[in-house]
């Protein structure tokens, strides 16, 4: 096998040189997929061969000076869905546990069910699950996009009428926003981004006619909106205003986690931006009446907390302390893994579902490397 025969990946690979300054030991990808392994590659001939075949994600090889041994980490991480009570009562864990990642939860606004992303079939897919786990079905899979490979799905967002789902899809043609009906009709791309820039974090207007999202222009996040089913180009709403946009139920503003702390509230026509609060937020969602935001906060004493943000006054009120920040969050910050991948409020308005990073890593020693 040769370097060019390996599956392409949007993420970088880690590697270490062998003493001959010709061969390298490298990780198959970057630990984002299950069963990533270590290879030895010849930089002159492009020939590669597999040297590990474990069950984990084998990463960060470091070859010993003599070239006979290499240390590496066997990494296991995934995202779990967890429920928290908005009223501050004891945490409820009602989601079935899984060794596979479950990310980007989005509750239906009209039915007691939610959508989420998983990889349990071996490839990325979006699934619908009833609240009591009485049934579950696949809504979107890689097969829906033909021969165009799908790297991942993320950023799920239900339409206000509960009949459609917007999401981010990463494929060989870039990262873009797609919409799928819950009736399992073929997915439809929202809008082509000029210049092929990425699109992420879709959020619906209350009337369901528009979707706002983030793209990157001039090296900074840019908030845009596009008409659902329209053909006109997207409209810029604001630049450098933050991440994780959420359209207000009142329809007049979009809230984003502000750079450096707090929340930016941006008028939907782009005419004004107002910053409220100062806390470090990992995720935010609107309450149904649109006067407050519910947020997952990283506190100054390194705890996680659920807190309210009053949009009119900017006041931040702690609801419940969820304990110390998990060590996995620190690991995620160092490696580029997002500690939280999605947050959504259930139809009862009493429960919030969050996708949180879980990590385990072991150190291994590979011997006899120079003979391979």
Q: 303, 282 in Cβ contact below 8 A?
A: no
pLDDT in tens, 23-62: 999 987 654 455 678 889 999 999 998 888 866 678 889 9
Please write the tens of the pLDDT for every residue from 301-336. 999 999 999 999 999 999 999 999 988 888 777 667
Span 247-306, pLDDT tens digits: 999 999 999 999 999 999 999 999 999 999 999 999 999 998 999 999 999 999 999 999
Residue 143's φ and ψ, nearest 5 degrees, are: -65, -25
CA gap 257, 358 in Å, rounded? 23
pTM of the complete model beyond 0.85: no
For residue 135, give its domain range.
77-359
Phi-psi region of 67 (alpha: psi -120 to 50; beta: other; left: phi over 0): left
Do 31 and 99 belong to one domain?
A: no
Q: Which tokens belong to 26?
A: 């490298």
Query: Do residues 216 and 326 both lie within one domain?
Result: yes
Q: How many CB atoms lie within 10 A of CB 212?
A: 26
Q: How far apart are CA 166 and CA 117, in angstroms?
A: 12
**CA triple 361-365-371, angle to 5 deg:** 140
Whether 40 and 89 map to the same domain: the answer is no
Domain boundary among 67, 98, 113: 67
Please report the DSSP string for 65-102 in residue order.
Answer: TTSSEEEEEEEEEEEEEEEEETTS------SPP-SS-E
- The sheet with strand 38-42 has its strands ordered as 15-17, 23-27, 38-42, 48-50
Asked if residue 205 belongs to a domain, the reply is yes
The answer on 195 and 274 residing in a single domain is yes
Question: 264 and 132, same structural domain?
Answer: yes
d(CA 226, CA 210): 6
Q: Is residue 255 part of a domain?
A: yes
- Is residue 52 located within the same domain as residue 177? no
Q: Within this chain, do residues 38 and 103 fall inside the same structural domain, yes or no?
A: no
């Amino acid at each position: 096998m040769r370097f060019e025969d390996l599956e392409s990946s949007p993420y970088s690979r880690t590697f270490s040189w062998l003493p001959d300054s010709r061969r390298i030991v490298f990780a198959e990808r970057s630990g984002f997929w299950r069963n990533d392994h270590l290879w030895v590659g010849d930089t002159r001939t492009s020939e590669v061969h597999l040297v590990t075949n474990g069950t984990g994600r084998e990463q960060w090889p470091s070859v010993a000076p003599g070239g006979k041994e290499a240390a590496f980490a066997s990494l296991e991480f995934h995202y779990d869905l967890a429920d928290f009570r908005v009223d501050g009562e004891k945490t409820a864990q009602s989601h079935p546990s899984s060794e596979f990642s479950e990310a980007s939860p989005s509750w239906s606004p009209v039915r007691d069910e939610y959508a989420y992303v998983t990889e349990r079939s071996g490839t990325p897919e979006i699934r619908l699950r009833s609240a009591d786990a009485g049934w579950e079905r696949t809504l979107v899979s890689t097969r829906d996009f033909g021969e165009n490979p799908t790297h991942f799905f993320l950023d799920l967002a239900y339409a206000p009428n509960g009949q459609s789902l917007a999401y981010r899809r990463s494929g060989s043609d870039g990262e873009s926003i797609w919409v799928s009906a819950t009736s399992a009709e073929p997915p439809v791309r929202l809008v082509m981004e000029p210049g092929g820039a990425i699109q992420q974090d879709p959020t619906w207007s209350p009337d369901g006619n528009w979707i706002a999202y983030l793209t990157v222009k001039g090296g900074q996040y840019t908030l845009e909106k596009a008409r659902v089913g329209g053909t006109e180009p997207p409209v810029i709403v604001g630049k450098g205003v933050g991440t994780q946009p959420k359209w207000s139920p009142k329809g007049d503003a979009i809230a984003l986690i502000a750079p450096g702390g707090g929340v930016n509230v941006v008028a939907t026509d782009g005419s004004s931006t107002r910053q409220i609060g100062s806390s470090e937020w990992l995720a935010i969602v609107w309450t149904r009446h649109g006067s407050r935001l519910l947020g997952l906060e990283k506190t100054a004493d390194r705890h996680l907390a659920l807190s309210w943000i009053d949009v009119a006054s900017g006041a931040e009120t702690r609801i419940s302390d969820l304990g110390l920040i998990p060590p996995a969050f620190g690991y995620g910050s160092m490696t580029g893994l997002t500690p939280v991948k999605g947050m959504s409020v259930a139809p009862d308005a009493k429960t919030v579902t969050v996708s949180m990073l879980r990590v385990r890593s072991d150190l291994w020693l590979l011997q006899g490397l120079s003979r391979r």
